[in-house]
A and B are shown apart, each in its own frame.
Chain A
Amino acid sequence: MMTTIPVDNTIEDPRRRSPLVLGHVEFGTVTEEICRVNEAPKPPKAWYVSLVISALAAGMLLVMIGYLILTGVGVWGNNNPVMWGFPIVNFVFWVGIGHAGTLISAILFLFRQKWRTSINRFAEAMTIFAVICAGTFPGIHIGRVWLAYWLFPIPNQMDLWPQFRSPLLWDVFAVGTYFTVSLIFWYVGMVPDLATLRDRSNTKIKAIAYGIFALGWRGSMRHWHRYERAYLLLAALATPLVLSVHSVVSFDFAVSQVPGWHTTIFPPYFVAGAIFSGFAMVMTLAIPAREIWGLKNFITMRHLENMNKIILVTGTMVGYAYGTEFFIAWYSGELYEKFAFVNRAFGQYAWAYWIMVSCNVAIPQLFWFKKVRTSIWIMFIVSLLVNVGMWFERFVIVVTSLAQDFLPSSWGYFTPTWVDVCTFIGSFGLFMTLFLLFIRYLPVLAISEIKGVMPAADPHAEHHEPVDTLGQEVQE
């Protein structure tokens, strides 16, 4: 049964497919290694340190929200032309981050991209947490937070409904649906693994807790059958949502008539940007996680390289969109539209624009080189820079367009306040807190699925070795 395992599984050999799991031949060791993350009596020190920092930041978020609600939206830097500032920038940023998870788990699943199995679980978790952060912002950014429920179509005695022509309302539906489906998808996928943890748990509390969420999973054939059907259906359901949610978020801008917002390219451009930023965030989380919890055999260099390729592709798409916006602005000859884009690149916010372009377009081009694609440190830095760049993209779109629109008399300049900054940092705290708790208490990788992509899972491995060894290339 011993197959020769190449140490470097990024090598493209047309004769044989590179393995997706390294160092294992037995299913049992896979279970052991992954469950170790949850079952180790003490998590690594890095976990404690990160959790304390994150929890403090999350606490700061709560304090900021409390202060905001007590005092008024004026504690932020939003002003008269720039009515939307950090909160909406952060909202779009977090929703964008929340794209990768469902893309990986749903679209790549449907396309039979088996390398997804090593990363889908925590990418989905990341999605859930990012959408939680994203959902916080529109809720608190409104002037009368206590009336936020008026945005929902709740039957009431006044027969008063929301205004269905408003993209903000579509947002409520799009993000709400996306969150719900992503959560169910994530949870359904986790059921067999929760059962594994239940079965292996050494304390009563764990057994009960995992037991409740494992929904009585026994691993029978019928269970597996139903499970796989459900998973497939959910994947099919989630796939259009990946495209719809950010398209709808982009309608917030595209449907308005603000120069720099009123653009038909926004939906595809936003989706590409969202996938781009989502993958960058997966990288940012995966690289330290695989180091700390020793998951290098599952999240291999090949996985990282594949994701880098997606970053390269989507980054280039985003760059193309930037170019198209400029071309159309020039080609339209429209006074205000032309100004909006010239102003973005050379006006008072040029600094933000060029941070965005360098981080999102220029730097990912490094991934044309395999050396860069497979260098842990470089890819980590690039992923961080892409996160920065994508945040600035939202900043550029939201703030520069509003700051200088039609009437020069009303132009202004947006300066964030300390509350803005602390709230933003706090949202990272919330995100990281949830993520760290997830790593410690839930199966961080999809144990059952990983087993499915191992050579050992293939009954015909002996006969068709060159063809059936798993690990396909992403089609670019």
Chain B
Amino acid sequence: MPSMKHEDSGRSYWRSLDELADTPEFKTFMHREFPAGASELMQEDRRSFLKIMGASMALAGVGLAGCRRWPEQMVLPYAERPEGSAPGMADSYATIMELGGVATGTLATSYNGRPTKIEGNPDHPGSLGATTRYGQACILDLYDPDRSREPRIATKERRTKATWDEWNAFSADHFDALRSSGGAGFWILSEATRSPSIESQQAELRSQFPKATWVTWEPLDNTNEAEGLTEAFGIRVRPVHDLSKAELIVSFESDLLNIHPDVLNLSRDWAAGRRPDHGSMNRMLVVESSLSVTGSKADDRWAMPSSRIPVLVARVAAIVLGDASIAEPFKNSGVKTPDAGTIANQLKDAAGRGAILAGPSQPAFVHRLVAMMNDALGNAGTTVSYIRENAESIRTASIRDLAAGMDAGGVETLLMLGGNPAYDAPADLEFANGLSKVKVSIHLADQDNETSQLCTWHLNRSHPLECWGDGRGWDGIYSVQQPLILPLFDGRSPVELLAQVNASSSPAGFDLVRKSFNKVNGTSGMAESFDPAWRRTLHAGVLAGSAAGTETLKARGGGLASGARALADTIDSSDAGLELSFVADSSVYDGRFANNGWLQELPDPLTRLTWDNAVLIGPSTAKDLGVGTGDMVKVSAGGESVEAAVLVQTGTASGTATLALGYGRRFAGRICTSSGFDFYPLRRSDAMWFQKGASITPTGGSYQLGTVQDHFAIDSVGGKGTAARLPVLFREASIETYNHDPDFVRAGDHGAHGLSLWQAQQFDGAQYRWGMSIDLNTCSGCSACVVACQAENNIPIVGKDQVLRGREMHWLRIDRYYRFQETSPGQYDTDQPLSVANQPLTCQHCENAPCEQVCPVAATIHSSDGLNVMVYNRCVGTRYCSNNCPYKVRRFNYFDYFRRDPLRETGLLQVQPDYYVKLQSGGDPLRRMQFNPEVTVRMRGVMEKCTFCTQRIQAAKIKTKNEWVKKPEAEKAAAKRIVIPDGTITPACAQACPNDVIVFGDLMDPDSRVSKLHANSRSYELLGELHVKPRNRYLARLTNSIHGERFPQDHSGGHGTSTDEHEESHG
């Protein structure tokens, strides 16, 4: 832990120089005491060193430092190097990220004690090396300038900053008093967590405050599932799926590839079944109300309102379970569903090899039916197994009880560990109102957010990378969360705060976690340094064998008919009004990531919307309502109404509107303020996921939505042009077509292009040929790679204003296209897409790169390895390269995006000159701390693009060559070249991907994975007919629909006529 150590070395040469210079920065630096100065320590690098050297010149009167464009920074090097660390070398530490009570293992990269990047932990079963977009982005939260930096206290008159000492003094008295009363009126509201340390603090809490009540609140928790499974099995269990064994996956509105606590495993296992070259391919059927990431990858998909999916499930269950009484109550409901028999037959055919999942929107009874069906079909035990949830260790209640208690005045002290209930609690509970009746409310939060502002005490929380903690994965495996850096703002973790409340003798996070580790591991004693299990766990990130054992359970069959009847009574079969459906937002989840710029600017996988959410309605519903994309509407339901913008989105069930939660935050963070619309006011505790009888009326206003991909109506010239070229750009076929004609992708080629006017000599003597393969069949479009790329390569965010101008900077983007069913010539059914295409696009590193030829200053050139390299220093910014790039993957720095405030409004002076912006926001060193020191931060006016993570390639080359020189001469002479073993180099995008979509490697090695994938019959070059010879190849998508081939016209030689006859016209 180099970051934790500090050698105060007394006076040093460099420091005395600064003292001589007597700069104000130095004075402040001297004034501040560790650990606040920890941040400065982390910024040392070679450049700063040289600058300090330059300062002596300044002292000699030779020059002034005023004319530089890079910021001045002070440096304090180690006088003695901490053991085991080499300056400038990155270290990785295993830790976890907990979201929704599920810990996923991560590896945090640290440069000289400064965490810069999060990767998945390959040893953690919940990650296996992959990360979600949230996992990637949470590093930015550590350096969020809007993080709360100190506690705050509110009195009747005003709210002021406070110190931890004041809090310590207050809490000692307050909780002692509470303790003596047994904790009457003491409530704790926590985010979902399965941290054993917190659980042991809970147990301690129960003994000290027997009357205290614990409430867990997660706005997006799948509580229906927990309830349904409890009904089914009699005990609280959680399902653990193994979809790699599933030949058939049926999802009833479960977005298992995008929003699920165990998404990485679900996604990976789904993808494992989508590799037809390894045998057969799975089939996924999805029923949902609006297009989700999972729905976009479905082989067959039906759109229907969430409220009516239970009817379908009941009908399917009636057939599968052979119990007609389940479907009986729905017979006369008048609800039309897709053919239940088809789904049931599919399930029966795949008995024992199928998996049924239901999403959080579905009522408990549906989850029970799903469990019954999985049981009856023999899926339980193969594709799904159950583990027991931990028993509650304290009196628990629901947020509804808490709200009632607050309203009745029964809540004297409310301790909130994270969360933001004033923003995200169901609207009918009027949480904010109740909070005002609580005598002492304490909120531990990373931001001074909506809830904090209403509380007596706001306490700043430490980031997971700053504090000790622990957690359990979806399968129950135990992991330790270890800090990489001292708290930047002296925050506290929930477990430390609980220990303080419990007046624990050793409230330090480390001791608490160490204790609970012993408990979990069954060891005792605190011989920290010599406990090999502890060390191993810290090193590997998991405690081997700590996963919960699966339970052998039998679903209980009784009471199905009555359950169905009860459910039938709740189904509103009338067509009056619209149905609102609430979903998690792909970018900000439930709102907690709203102040994270990377996530705000991450385009939604399907709507491609950034910086906002919107009311999603289908084309025909929009037509009925008389609204279009960008129109402001008033959404009213249950007496509440919200004004928001409409986005017309295909795939939305007719008569429904989909509202993504998490936007419209009122907390004044500089990223999230004024982005999107808050739909929580429409969400009621009795209608958490959907609400019938809503109305949408246009207000006449309009709103600009920053989508990164323009929408062209299908009947416009652009729409028709898109439809015409999609079969060539995104090649897909059914598995039947593929089996019949494995070379079907060639039909999309314009013809052979082996001929060249000159001999390619540029790779003579090359040691490597880097290339990439991207599997369109297994890419779900989840966008974790996009965030990973952003984090690795110091890619700036540009803000909504710039997105609207089409200037987003992502080096890797995921294109999304829809194909629609042609109903009659030139007429398309745009309500439901026939196919959704996701196509990740990076620089293709063309061998005949069109960008290189047109650059007048040779700023983009070819390396001998075939990398198309961009020389930032040489670039003058003519932007010709981007014009000539057929893939449009080059990105231009129109401004100094790192200095610019991304929220700058468009006005007369739409942007302000750099020097002014620098004054406003450039002075904060926090953001700079995240930068990857291996990658240049680009200034304005230069072009940039994907480098295949050249810094990683370079690191691997150096390492390999260092080992090479030690080899015997004979071996060196025998080898033709220095081979870097396949798999050594993984670009950031490939590393994040759970589905192994992106494979990178050396094409010169015929046995490398990428060479084999390039040779695969499904592989094709995007725009290969331009003869640019891209080094990336795509593997065509295959579908496995019940109805067979979706696009017979693509594979009958029909579309080729327009292209094939002109194969000579290029080159």
Residue numbers of A with Cβ under 8 A of B are 67, 70-75, 77-84, 141-145, 147-148, 150-151, 160-163, 165-169, 172, 252, 255-258, 332-336, 339, 342-343, 346-348, 402, 404-413, 417-418
Expressed in whole angstroms, the Cα–Cα distance for A108 and B880 within the complex equals 36
Q: Is B421 an interface residue (CB 8 A)?
A: no
- Residue in A74, A142, A168, A257 whose CB lies within 8 Å of B807: A74
**Do the beta carbons of B853 and A168 come within 8 Å of each other?**
no
Can you list 12 A-B contacts (CB < 8 A)? Answer: A82-B806, A142-B876, A143-B875, A150-B876, A151-B876, A162-B857, A257-B1026, A334-B1059, A404-B721, A408-B718, A408-B722, A408-B817
Do A148 and B876 contact each other (CB < 8 Å), given the known contacts A256-B883, A409-B816, A411-B710? yes
**Do the beta carbons of A333 and B1061 come within 8 Å of each other?**
yes
**Do the beta carbons of B850 and A257 come within 8 Å of each other?**
yes
**Do the beta carbons of A347 and B716 come within 8 Å of each other?**
yes
Do A80 and B807 contact each other (CB < 8 Å), given the known contacts A73-B877, A335-B1058, A410-B888? yes
**Do the beta carbons of A256 and B856 come within 8 Å of each other?**
no
Expressed in whole angstroms, the Cα–Cα distance for A79 and B806 within the complex equals 5
Expressed in whole angstroms, the Cα–Cα distance for A334 and B726 within the complex equals 15
Residue numbers of B with Cβ under 8 A of A are 709-710, 712, 716-718, 721-722, 724-726, 728-729, 802, 805-808, 813, 815-817, 839, 841, 850, 853-858, 874-880, 882-884, 886-888, 891-896, 908, 910-915, 940-943, 1023, 1026, 1058-1059, 1061-1062, 1065
List A contacts of B914 (CB < 8 A): 70-72
Expressed in whole angstroms, the Cα–Cα distance for A367 and B850 within the complex equals 44
**Do the beta carbons of A408 and B857 come within 8 Å of each other?**
no
Q: Considering only CB atoms, which chain A residue lies closest to B798 in the complex?
A: A74
**Do the beta carbons of B1059 and A335 come within 8 Å of each other?**
yes
**Do the beta carbons of B1058 and A407 come within 8 Å of each other?**
no
**Do the beta carbons of B896 and A72 come within 8 Å of each other?**
yes
Residue picked from B807, B892, B894, B910, most chain A C-beta under 10 Å:
B894
Closest 6 CB pairs of A and B: A143-B877, A143-B941, A74-B894, A79-B806, A409-B815, A410-B888
Expressed in whole angstroms, the Cα–Cα distance for A301 and B722 within the complex equals 53
**Do the beta carbons of A143 and B888 come within 8 Å of each other?**
no
Residue picked from A168, A332, A407, most chain B C-beta under 10 Å:
A407
Expressed in whole angstroms, the Cα–Cα distance for A147 and B943 within the complex equals 14
Expressed in whole angstroms, the Cα–Cα distance for A413 and B718 within the complex equals 12
List B contacts of A80 (CB < 8 A): 806-808, 882, 888, 891-892
Q: Considering only CB atoms, which chain B residue lies closest to A419 in the complex?
A: B910
The distance from the CB of A255 to the nearest CB of chain B, in whole angstroms, is 7
**Do the beta carbons of A143 and B893 come within 8 Å of each other?**
yes
**Inter-chain pairs besides A79-B807, A80-B891, A257-B1026, 13 sampled, C-beta below 8 Å:** A71-B913, A72-B914, A72-B941, A73-B877, A74-B807, A81-B806, A142-B941, A143-B878, A335-B724, A343-B721, A405-B888, A406-B888, A408-B718
**Do the beta carbons of A408 and B854 come within 8 Å of each other?**
no
Do A332 and B1065 contact each other (CB < 8 Å), given the known contacts A71-B911, A258-B884? yes
Expressed in whole angstroms, the Cα–Cα distance for A400 and B374 within the complex equals 56
**Do the beta carbons of B941 and A144 come within 8 Å of each other?**
yes
**Do the beta carbons of B886 and A147 come within 8 Å of each other?**
no
Expressed in whole angstroms, the Cα–Cα distance for A259 and B325 within the complex equals 64
The distance from the CB of B190 to the nearest CB of chain A, in whole angstroms, is 43
The distance from the CB of A458 to the nearest CB of chain B, in whole angstroms, is 52
Residue picked from B725, B729, B883, most chain A C-beta under 10 Å:
B883
Expressed in whole angstroms, the Cα–Cα distance for A286 and B876 within the complex equals 40
Residue picked from A67, A70, A71, A142, most chain B C-beta under 10 Å:
A71
**Do the beta carbons of B882 and A168 come within 8 Å of each other?**
no
List B contacts of A75 (CB < 8 A): 910-911
Expressed in whole angstroms, the Cα–Cα distance for A73 and B877 within the complex equals 9
Q: Considering only CB atoms, which chain B residue lies closest to A145 in the complex?
A: B941
**Do the beta carbons of B910 and A169 come within 8 Å of each other?**
no
Do A165 and B853 contact each other (CB < 8 Å), given the known contacts A80-B891, A83-B882? yes
Do A169 and B728 contact each other (CB < 8 Å), given the known contacts A80-B882, A346-B717? no
List B contacts of A151 (CB < 8 A): 856-857, 876
The distance from the CB of B377 to the nearest CB of chain A, in whole angstroms, is 41
Q: Considering only CB atoms, which chain A residue lies closest to B839 in the complex?
A: A409
- Residue in B722, B891, B911, B1062 whose CB lies within 8 Å of A74: B911
Do A83 and B892 contact each other (CB < 8 Å), given the known contacts A143-B877, A407-B887? yes
Do A406 and B886 contact each other (CB < 8 Å), given the known contacts A67-B913, A71-B911, A71-B914? yes
List B contacts of A160 (CB < 8 A): 858, 874
Q: Considering only CB atoms, which chain A residue lies closest to B722 in the complex?
A: A408
**Do the beta carbons of B712 and A71 come within 8 Å of each other?**
no
The distance from the CB of A265 to the nearest CB of chain B, in whole angstroms, is 15
The distance from the CB of B901 to the nearest CB of chain A, in whole angstroms, is 13
Expressed in whole angstroms, the Cα–Cα distance for A150 and B841 within the complex equals 32
List B contacts of A166 (CB < 8 A): 853-856, 880
The distance from the CB of A175 to the nearest CB of chain B, in whole angstroms, is 13
Q: Considering only CB atoms, which chain A residue lies closest to B725 in the complex?
A: A335
Do A74 and B895 contact each other (CB < 8 Å), given the known contacts A80-B807, A151-B857? yes
The distance from the CB of A338 to the nearest CB of chain B, in whole angstroms, is 8
Residue picked from A82, A83, A144, A405, most chain B C-beta under 10 Å:
A83
Expressed in whole angstroms, the Cα–Cα distance for A412 and B708 within the complex equals 9
**Do the beta carbons of A412 and B878 come within 8 Å of each other?**
no
Q: Considering only CB atoms, which chain A residue lies closest to B912 in the complex?
A: A71
Residue picked from A145, A166, A411, A413, most chain B C-beta under 10 Å:
A166
**Do the beta carbons of A162 and B887 come within 8 Å of each other?**
no
Expressed in whole angstroms, the Cα–Cα distance for A145 and B940 within the complex equals 11
List B contacts of A74 (CB < 8 A): 802, 805, 807, 894-895, 911, 940
Q: Considering only CB atoms, which chain A residue lies closest to B708 in the complex?
A: A409
List A contacts of B886 (CB < 8 A): 257, 405-407
List B contacts of A162 (CB < 8 A): 856-858
- Residue in B717, B887, B1065 whose CB lies within 8 Å of A347: B717
List B contacts of A167 (CB < 8 A): 854
- Residue in A83, A145, A404, A417 whose CB lies within 8 Å of B883: A83
Expressed in whole angstroms, the Cα–Cα distance for A207 and B825 within the complex equals 80
Expressed in whole angstroms, the Cα–Cα distance for A410 and B815 within the complex equals 8
List B contacts of A410 (CB < 8 A): 709, 815, 887-888
**Do the beta carbons of A412 and B817 come within 8 Å of each other?**
no
Expressed in whole angstroms, the Cα–Cα distance for A72 and B942 within the complex equals 11
Q: Considering only CB atoms, which chain B residue lies closest to A73 in the complex?
A: B894
The distance from the CB of B431 to the nearest CB of chain A, in whole angstroms, is 42
- Residue in B726, B940, B1059 whose CB lies within 8 Å of A333: B1059
Q: Considering only CB atoms, which chain B residue lies closest to A333 in the complex?
A: B1062
**Do the beta carbons of A144 and B942 come within 8 Å of each other?**
yes
Residue picked from B805, B875, B884, most chain A C-beta under 10 Å:
B805
Do A407 and B892 contact each other (CB < 8 Å), given the known contacts A151-B857, A168-B856? no
Expressed in whole angstroms, the Cα–Cα distance for A428 and B722 within the complex equals 39
Expressed in whole angstroms, the Cα–Cα distance for A258 and B888 within the complex equals 11
List A contacts of B882 (CB < 8 A): 80, 83
- Residue in A72, A144, A402 whose CB lies within 8 Å of B894: A72
The distance from the CB of A152 to the nearest CB of chain B, in whole angstroms, is 10
List A contacts of B942 (CB < 8 A): 143-144
The distance from the CB of A25 to the nearest CB of chain B, in whole angstroms, is 56
Expressed in whole angstroms, the Cα–Cα distance for A161 and B888 within the complex equals 27
Expressed in whole angstroms, the Cα–Cα distance for A411 and B722 within the complex equals 10
The distance from the CB of B506 to the nearest CB of chain A, in whole angstroms, is 54
Do A407 and B888 contact each other (CB < 8 Å), given the known contacts A74-B802, A84-B883, A335-B1059? yes
The distance from the CB of A137 to the nearest CB of chain B, in whole angstroms, is 12
The distance from the CB of B862 to the nearest CB of chain A, in whole angstroms, is 12
Expressed in whole angstroms, the Cα–Cα distance for A346 and B717 within the complex equals 7
List B contacts of A145 (CB < 8 A): 941
**Do the beta carbons of A70 and B728 come within 8 Å of each other?**
no
**Do the beta carbons of B805 and A79 come within 8 Å of each other?**
yes
List A contacts of B722 (CB < 8 A): 408
List B contacts of A150 (CB < 8 A): 857, 874, 876
Q: Considering only CB atoms, which chain A residue lies closest to B913 in the complex?
A: A70
Expressed in whole angstroms, the Cα–Cα distance for A371 and B238 within the complex equals 91
Q: Considering only CB atoms, which chain A residue lies closest to B1060 in the complex?
A: A333
Expressed in whole angstroms, the Cα–Cα distance for A169 and B915 within the complex equals 32
